A = this chain, B = another copy of it.
Amino acid sequence: MMLPAPSASPGDPVAPVVLALAVMLVGAKLGGDLAERLGQPAVLGELVAGVVLGNLDLIGVPWFRAAATDHTLNVLARLGVVVLLFEVGLESTVGDMLKVGGRSLLVAVLGVVTPWALGWGVGALLLPRRSAYVHAFLGATLTATSVGITARVLRDLGRAQSPEARIILGAAVIDDVLGLVILAVVGGAITATDAGTGLSYAAVALILLKALLFLGGALALGVVLSPRLFALAARLRGRGLLLTTALVFCFVLAYLASVVGLAAIVGAYAAGLVLEDSHYGRLARDGERRLDELIRPIGILLVPVFFVLMGMRVELRSFAHPETVGLALLLTVAAVAGKQACALGGLGGSARLDRLSIGLGMIPRGEVGLIFANLGLSLTLHGERIVDAAAFTSVVIMVVLTTLITPPALKWSLGRREQRTGDAACADKVEHQRIKVAQLEEYLR
C-alpha cells in the first residue's frame, strides 16, 4: 500500500523500524568484521556493536536506548533467535540427540545444582542479614543457560554438528525445564511461607509434567506427523511451499513450547531436530534450493538483530556503583565456575570429548535469570522484597558479563582442541579463503 507520512498523519510505522534495522545491520557487519580480524567469532562483534549503539545516550544520542526496549524490534529479534535455533536444530536429528541424551541430562543437572549452590553461598556471604530465601533466590538466577550465544558461536566456527554442541544444546533444553521447576518451587515456597500455608507439590509436578509431555510429544509425534504434513502441503498449488510448511511447523512448536511454559526457542530447536530431508517428499527441493539454503537469508536479516539488540540493552551507566559491581562480579564468578561442573558430565565419554568446551558453552545466562530477578522484585517475605534494586542490577551485569565472556572463551577452547586433535584445524579459515577465491574467480570471468 502507498502510505505517505504527511506531517498531519501519524506516519508509516515501518519507517523507524527499517531505519533501526539498517543501522543495526551495519553495526553488526562492522562489529563482526572487526571481531573476525581479531580472531574472535562475529557474534562478539555484534554484541559489542550493540553495546556501543545502546550507550550513545551517554554522548547525547538517546534514540538507540529507546530502540533497545521497542516492542517490535524485540519481537523481530526474538523471531531471529527462533530462526537461529531452528537452523541449528536442522543440522541434527532426534536420533543424534537421543545418543547424547543421558549425558546432556547429567550436564544439565550438574550445571544447575552447582551454580545454584555457589550463588546461594555468594548471597550468604555478601548479604548475611537477608533471609535464606533471598540467598536461594539469588542462586536460582544463576541456573539456566541461555543457549542463543553458544549456538551462534558453534555455528560461526562450523561446529554445530559436533557431539559437544549436541550435549550443550540438549543440556540447555533440559536446563529450561529445570529452571521452570526451580522457579515454581522457590517462588511457591516464598509465597507459601509469607502466607503461612504449605507449598503445593501438585502444582510443581504439573508444571514439570506439562514440559516433559511437550518435549516427548514434539519429538515422538513430530517425527511421525511431519512427513504427512509435507505430503499434504505438496498437494497445494503455489510457490514457496517447502519453506512455508517448515516455518509453520517451527512456529507452531515454538508457540506450544511457550504455552507449556518453556522458551519459544526450545520449540523451534525441537522442530529443527524433528525435520529431516527425507520428510519433505515431493517438496524436497524448491527449484534448486534445499530447506537450509532457503532459511539462511531469513537468518541473515533477523539473527544479527537479536545479538545487536542484546548488546544495546547493556547500560554502561550501571557499572558506576561499586557495591553493586562487587555483588555482580562474585555472582559472575559463581555463574562461570558453577557451570564448569558440567565438564564432569563429559567424564567417561569418548577420550576425544572436549569437556572444557562443554563447561564454557554452558556459561551464558540470559532472560531466564532476568525473569527470575524480575519476579524477585515483586515477591515479598514479611514485608521485605526478595530482590532489591541493587541485587537486580547485579543480576543484569552478571547476564551481560557471561554473555560477553563466552564467545572468546569458547573460540579459544575449541581452537586449542582443534590444534591438539589436528583433524578439523583451520577448517574455518580455509572456508573463508575458499569463498574469497570463488569470488575472485567469478570476478575475473
Q: Is there contact, CB below 8 Å, between A9 and B179? A: no
Stretch of A120-128, A293-301, A388-396 with 4 or more beta carbons under 8 angstroms from chain B: A293-301
Closest CB in chain B relative to A147 CB, distance in Å = 6
Chain B residues with Cβ below 8 Å from A16 are 255
Q: Which residues of chain B have C-beta atoms less than 8 A from A258's C-beta?
A: 5, 11-12, 14-15
Report whether A237 and B32 are in contact in the complex, using a CB–CB cutoff of 8 Å: yes
Interface residues of A in 1-21 (CB under 8 A from B): 1-9, 11-19, 21
Separation of A72 and B367 alpha carbons in the complex (Å): 21
Q: Does A68 contact B (CB under 8 A)?
A: no
Query: Bound state CA distance, A243 and B301, in angstroms?
Result: 8
The smallest C-beta distance from A250 to any residue of chain B, in angstroms, reads 8
Which residues in window 41-61 of A have CB below 8 A to B? 42
- Decide: A14 near B75, CB < 8 A? Known: A7-B261, A239-B300: yes
Indicate if the CB atoms of B72 and A75 lie closer than 8 Å: yes
Whole-angstrom distance between the Cβ of A40 and the nearest chain B Cβ:
11
Tell me the bound Cα distance from A259 to B15 in angstroms. Answer: 8
Q: What distance in Å separates the Cβ of A288 from its nearest Cβ neighbour in chain B? A: 9
Query: In the complex, what distance in Å separates the CA atom of A250 from the CA atom of B300?
Result: 15
- State A248–B26 Cα separation when bound (angstroms): 7
Tell me if A184 is interfacial: C-beta within 8 Å of chain B: yes
Contact code string A147-181 (vs B, CB < 8 Å = 1, else 0): 11000000000000000000000001001100110
Stretch at the interface among A219-227, A277-285, A318-326, A411-419: A277-285
Tell me the bound Cα distance from A71 to B6 in angstroms.
Answer: 20
Partner of A238 from the list B36, B367, B443 (CB cut-off 8 Å) is B36
- Tell me, rounded to whole Å, the shortest Cβ–Cβ distance linking A355 to chain B: 22
Given the interface pairs A21-B251, A237-B37, A263-B1, the reply to whether A75 lies near B13 with Cβ below 8 Å is yes
Nearest 7 A-B pairs (CB), nearest first? Answer: A1-B366, A240-B300, A14-B78, A15-B258, A22-B251, A18-B251, A33-B236
> Which residues of A are at the interface with B, using a C-beta cutoff of 8 A?
1-9, 11-19, 21-22, 25-26, 28-30, 32-33, 36-37, 42, 71-72, 74-76, 78-79, 81-82, 144-148, 172, 175-176, 179-180, 183-184, 187, 207, 233-234, 236-241, 243-244, 247-248, 250-252, 254-255, 258-259, 261-266, 281-285, 287, 289, 293-298, 300-301, 304, 310, 366-368, 371, 374-375, 432, 435, 438-440, 442-443
* 15 new A-B contacts at CB < 8 Å, known A237-B432, A284-B443: A1-B310, A5-B261, A5-B262, A6-B187, A15-B258, A18-B264, A19-B252, A21-B251, A22-B247, A28-B244, A32-B237, A71-B72, A282-B440, A282-B443, A287-B435
